[in-house]
């Protein structure tokens, strides 16, 4: 079983991202499970959402404490929350940031940074970073196929909005693919 923890702020779409990643993973033939860290959701408050992937039915219901993957939707969270807590050796951390990192990820953990905010502003016209980060996640981990992510977005959003989000996800996907190739 592999586990993903998403750190975001209320209103950044962390829960939607978790759901769509689970949907895309399921389309790829694995069992997946997505759920939020049921907080009292307020805009701006730090929130978490989780996804599990396995090749058999997932029964575990606790939150994710030792993730294989972490998505940080907003690098300002790194000061507020111990976002890297428990990450496994060999794990992958994806941080949305435009700056060079002034923090360190634990040893043996791979850090991928991406300026998802700029991509979102350019492509969608709004600072909605979760779809770009999904694209980055697909490229970095291979847990979800880009086509499955595309289908999940088409299914969730009206056509025009879906297409903008898919384009943002594609740019992030290609950026990460290029950087890690």
Partner 1 sequence: MLGITEGSMAVAEAVRLCRPQVVSAYPITPQTHIVEALAEMVANGKLDADYITVESEFSALSACIGASAAGSRAYSATTSQGLALMYEVCFNVAGMRLPIVMTIANRAMGAPLSIWNDQQDSISLRDAGWMQFYAEDNQEATDLHYIAYKVAENQKVLLPAMVCFDGFILSHTYEPVDMLSQEDADKYLPKFAPSERLDAADPVSFGMYATPEYYLEFRYETDKALKDAKSVIRAAGAEFGKMFGRDYSAMVEGYQLDDAETVIVAMGSLCGTVKDTIDEMRKEGKKVGLLKIRVFRPFPTEDVAAALKGAKRVAVLDKNISLGAKGATALEVKDALYGSTIPVYDYVLGLGGRDVRKKDIREVVALAEQGKGNQFIGLRKEVL
> What residues make contact with partner 1 under the rule CB under 8 A?
18-19, 22-23, 26, 31-36, 38, 40, 57-63, 65
Specify whether the CB–CB gap between 168 and 120 falls below 8 A.
Answer: yes
CB of 59 to partner 1, least distance (A): 3
Task: Tell me whether residue 20 or residue 128 sits nearer to partner 1 (CB atom).
Answer: 20
CB of 137 to partner 1, least distance (A): 16
Q: Which two tokens stand for residue 170?
A: 């594609």
CB of 39 to partner 1, least distance (A): 10
CB of 53 to partner 1, least distance (A): 12
Task: Tell me whether residue 26 or residue 154 sits nearer to partner 1 (CB atom).
Answer: 26
CB of 42 to partner 1, least distance (A): 13
Length of the chain: 181
Specify whether the CB–CB gap between 162 and 156 falls below 8 A.
Answer: yes
Residue 153 CB-density burial (10 A; 0-12 exposed, 13-18 middle, 19+ buried): buried
Specify whether the CB–CB gap between 13 and 74 falls below 8 A.
Answer: no
Task: Tell me whether residue 42 or residue 59 sits nearer to partner 1 (CB atom).
Answer: 59
Task: Tell me whether residue 59 or residue 122 sits nearer to partner 1 (CB atom).
Answer: 59
Residue 114: partners with Cβ closer than 8 Å, 6 or more residues away: 94, 95, 96, 97, 132, 133, 136, 172, 175, 176
> Rounded to an integer, what distance in angstroms lies between the CA atom of residue 181 and that of residue 161?
30
Q: Which two tokens stand for residue 31?
A: 């069992």
Task: Tell me whether residue 30 or residue 77 sits nearer to partner 1 (CB atom).
Answer: 30
């Amino acid at each position: 079983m592999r586990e993903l923890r998403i750190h975001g702020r209320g209103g950044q779409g962390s829960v939607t991202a978790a759901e769509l990643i689970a949907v895309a993973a399921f389309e790829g033939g694995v069992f997946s499970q997505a759920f939020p860290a049921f907080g009292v959701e307020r805009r701006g408050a730090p929130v978490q959402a989780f996804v599990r992937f396995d090749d058999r039915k997932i029964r575990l219901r606790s939150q994710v404490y030792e993730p294989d993957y972490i998505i940080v939707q907003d690098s300002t969270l790194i000061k507020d929350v111990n976002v890297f807590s428990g990450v496994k050796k060999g794990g992958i951390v994806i941080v949305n940031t435009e700056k060079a990192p002034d923090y360190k990820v634990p040893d043996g953990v791979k850090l991928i940074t991406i300026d998802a905010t700029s991509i979102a502003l350019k492509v969608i016209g709004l600072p909605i970073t979760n779809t770009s980060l999904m694209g980055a996640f697909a490229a970095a981990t291979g847990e979800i196929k880009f086509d499955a992510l595309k289908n999940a977005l088409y299914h969730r959003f009206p056509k025009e909005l879906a297409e903008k989000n898919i384009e943002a996800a594609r740019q992030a996907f290609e950026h990460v693919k290029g950087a890690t190739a």
